Amino acid sequence: MNKLKRALICLAICAVSVFIAAGFAACTDGGLEGEYHYANPWGGADYGVKVSVVVEEGVIQSVEVLPSEYTEVTDSWENKNVYLEGRDELLAAYVGKTVDEVLAIEVTCGVDGTPSAVGDSDFLISGATNCSGRLLRAVQDALRNYNAGKNQIKKRRQPPALFTERFVMCKPCLSVHKICLRLFIFFKRAPFELLFKPAAGIIIRNYV
């Protein structure tokens, strides 16, 4: 029994650490990567762009263009400097927008994938529609990854409905016993929950 208590105390300490780390992770979701590309009709590397998007609580904090194997702009394009000189301002337009707001913007593309129109002029550089559309599509790709991750977390947090309980007494020797903590740990078919009671003990709840 003493071994069981010690094991549960160690698990409790680990649980607190995990929840603290999870709290920071929930506040900041950094480095979400996305990309958009399509075949170059003149041969060579695909036209496209790769980005990294930082999101905090559903709001975009920054967008950065990453090095990639894609061709963002061609040297021979007459409006190359128009796009490159306006790109920083375009990236800044995403800051402060919510994930849902950016995902709702429409980008019209041809059958070959070339963007021909952007639904919000705030995300368009005049004379550089293709580049602006590729950038927006890449950002939206990153944000879809963000939403997919959030949905997956929600699914994992849903507990089964049926369970049995067992109470284990613990001496209040650690401060962790003063914390009310609900911890869900799911294995393949044997999920269980630990309910920590202040200065009392631990209830082991086994789900069916």
Alpha helices in 93-201 (DSSP H): 99-103, 129-156
- Two tokens at 91? 């990236």
pLDDT 10s digits, 139-162: 999 999 887 766 554 555 555 555
Banded pLDDT at 204 (limits 50, 70, 90)? low
pLDDT at 174: 44
| Residue 31 confidence (pLDDT) | 80
Alpha-carbon distance 19 to 70, whole Å? 39
Averaged pLDDT, 174-183: 42
pLDDT at 60: 96
Average pLDDT, the chain: 75
Residue 83 host element (H or E) = helix 80-92
116 pLDDT more than 80: yes
pTM across the whole model:
0.61
Q: Where are the domains of the chain?
A: 2-25+160-207, 30-155
Which pLDDT value is given to residue 148? 73
| Mean pLDDT of the 123-127 span | 96
The span from the CA of 116 to the CA of 124, in Å, is 11
**In whole angstroms, how far apart are CA 91 and each of 81, 122, 125?**
16, 10, 11
Comparing CA positions, the residue from 131, 107, 135 lying closest to residue 120 is 107
* CATH top class, domain 30-155: alpha beta
| pLDDT at 188 > cutoff 60 | no
pLDDT at res. 21:
43
